[in-house]
Structure 1
């Protein structure tokens, strides 16, 4: 687990109560960012041929997932159980925290949020949970917003509402080389995956109401990546935004997309960089090698 309980974690509410912030590894907060925010990051697991690995900076990374998928190993994912999260919350209580804000990926695609709710019932301190109905960087931006609000003196309820608002405003888009991996994980039906393969369709997908949904279909990878850029610019509009690009074993197109968006959205980014890096290992299991994703997250409310 990264981040941790120190004076930087979360913040103090207006009445002086200390609030810790917890999230999961699919939020894609790198170790440095998590430490700066003081956020505790609980790993999900990647299961390869019955061997369980924690994902994260010191665990099983996206590169190893891509290798395992290409080798046609048996690869699946697992949520942290309620007991794991309950122990995290107890540890934070021992460090002097009065409340915990636990912000997680969509409950429609993972049981992690459910684990957080169940864990909150097992501990003595108050736990407020947020189902962002998002995945990847969109969840991470929601976490960052929650920390910003807490440090500004907001209550835990206000910070939770701000996290939900940020996640609701975000647009997550991704191109996958094949629908096969999403089919294996039960995220799309077999018929849709088969049709995509037969027609050589390159799908652009999105997250809608917490689940994977089709946005558009194009015929080539290059057209898909060009369309991703256009859709990201469209989602940004003229608002201040944060933008993140992620990939699984496809660094050059992802880097090119990040450069394009940095140029095309320079005004909306307000000197903030377009983040670009590997996809969460757990998300990569379901998306597959070749995936390129982009998140556009409008900056909501007071900074």
Structure 2
């Protein structure tokens, strides 16, 4: 009898709800510490988060508790799964995978933990790839292997409107943030094996976004790919970016527009945009 594979991920995957539902992906929410309140990010409206950020209320992100993953695995088992592929944000960005591993020990069925090497739609596409295999009757080893490959091979290109929120989150130094903000230099960032790194610096927002598009086109050239545009509190700009990428990369299979999770948004700040190029 074929195995029934369930796919679980954490909310930094930033999957649109309709995609997660269509592919039966169980998403476990990260937690946000906003001042004294610790809240599952699913219950944090964007406006509340933005207000707290503007007011400089201390905000930190926390991984889901092991119990949250345990109950997600229980839910998958109750729905008929006999094995689980659990795909997560890089351990260098969050210890969410540690919580998943702790829960996996207590799971009624085997759990295969996958490191996506990043977050956002790099993780989202990896989870979707595993779910596609599961829905077509593939086994856990195949689903796990495909998810690992998608995570390793994807490239994310990030534009931030200000470096201030990355500074607050400890992702860059205060000196780097000050130089960028004072001189209107917009660094373009990427994630390499869980590390946020700059790949270019451009004067002005319009030039920076144009450079981001050019780099995405170069990466996509000649490859079978999916494309995601991610934003935080910048949907109109995200739609403009997606429209331009559709023109410049017409051979892409799927195009996805999504707002990043609150846990990511708290680090990149309003106005942030990203393009994920995910070969398959």
TM-score bracket, shorter-length normalisation: over 0.9
**Separation of aligned partners in 1, 2:248 and 2:93:** 32
**Separation of aligned partners in 2, 1:121 and 1:188:** 35
Which sections of structure 1, spanning at least 5 residues, go unmatched? 1-14
TM-score, normalization: structure 2? 0.94
- Of residues 82, 85, 92, the one that matches 1:98 is 82
3-state SS in 1 of match to 2:257:
strand
Q: How far apart are 1:195 and its partner, in Å?
A: 3.2
Q: How far apart are 1:198 and its partner, in Å?
A: 4.1
Q: Does 1:87 align with 2:71?
A: yes
Q: Does 1:46 align with 2:29?
A: no
Aligned to 2:147: 163
Between 169-178 and 69-78, report the one with greater CA deviation: 69-78
Aligned to 1:279: 260
- Of residues 165, 176, 179, the one that matches 2:160 is 176
3-state SS in 2 of match to 1:84:
helix
- Of residues 262, 265, 269, the one that matches 2:252 is 269
3-state SS in 2 of match to 1:297:
strand
- Of residues 44, 49, 52, the one that matches 1:65 is 49
**Separation of aligned partners in 1, 2:195 and 2:21:** 30
**Maintained 8 Å contact 1:62/1:278:** no
Aligned to 1:237: 221
**Maintained 8 Å contact 2:8/2:28:** yes
Deviations 1:47-67 (A, max 9, x none): 2222223223xx224343223
Aligned to 1:206: 190
Deviations 1:16-39 (A, max 9, x none): 122111011111122221111111
Deviations 1:165-222 (A, max 9, x none): 1111111011112222112112223333233234432110001111111110111011
After TM superposition, what 4+ stretches of structure 1 lie above 6 angstroms from structure 2? Answer: none
Q: How far apart are 1:138 and its partner, in Å?
A: 1.1
How much is the aligned-residue C-alpha RMSD, in angstroms?
Answer: 1.7
**Maintained 8 Å contact 2:157/2:274:** yes
Q: How far apart are 1:96 and its partner, in Å?
A: 2.8
**Separation of aligned partners in 1, 2:78 and 2:241:** 45
3-state SS in 2 of match to 1:269:
coil
Aligned to 1:227: 211
Deviations 1:93-112 (A, max 9, x none): 23332111101111110011
Aligned to 1:28: 14
Which sections of structure 2, spanning at least 5 residues, go unmatched? none
**Separation of aligned partners in 1, 2:74 and 2:259:** 32
TM-score, normalization: structure 1? 0.87
3-state SS in 2 of match to 1:202:
strand
Between 76-85 and 194-203, report the one with greater CA deviation: 194-203
**Maintained 8 Å contact 1:225/1:253:** no
Q: Does 1:289 align with 2:273?
A: no
**Maintained 8 Å contact 2:16/2:258:** no
